[in-house]
Structure formats: C-alpha cells, structure tokens
Amino acid sequence: MAEVLAGQGKTLPEDDLTDLRLIGFRSLDFSELALRVEDEVGVELNFDAPDLRRIGTVGDVLDFLVSLTT
C-alpha cells in the first residue's frame, strides 16, 4: 500500500484508522494494490468473495487483503 501511495508522491499514514478519502486512496489504487498482491503471492485472488463495501480505512484495506490471501 505504501508503494502504491509512493507512486503518487504520498505517504502511508501510520494510523490504520485513517479514512481512505483523506489520503486520496481511490478505487483504482485499491485495484492496483490487489494486483500487486496477486503478483507477489503468485495466486489469482477471488475478488468476489468478500464484501467490498466495508472498506473505508487503511486498516480495512489491509484486513481485506489478508482475507484474500489466507
């Protein structure tokens, strides 16, 4: 996530409760992050399984990705 933000000249906040809208982390950024995870773990993720609507904070993003990879 830090890499995605760094590509836009932004920094990943330390507080996991930070609202994604405040740091300008948009749906495209989230998609990119998912692809990076796929490339890293070498497995195609099932994007349909979890409920995406709950993702509002930095922590939600990280929890979501963990749920996809475990």
Q: DSSP per residue over 1-22, as a string? A: -HHHHHTTT----S-TT-BTTT
Q: Which two tokens stand for residue 39?
A: 């490339």
Number of residues that bind another protein (CB under 8 A): 13
Binding mask 26-55 for another protein (x = CB under 8 A): -xx-xxx-xxx--x-----x-x----x---
Q: Which two tokens stand for residue 33?
A: 């992050």
Site for another protein in 4-23 (CB under 8 A): 7
Binding site for another protein (CB under 8 A): 7, 27-28, 30-32, 34-36, 39, 45, 47, 52
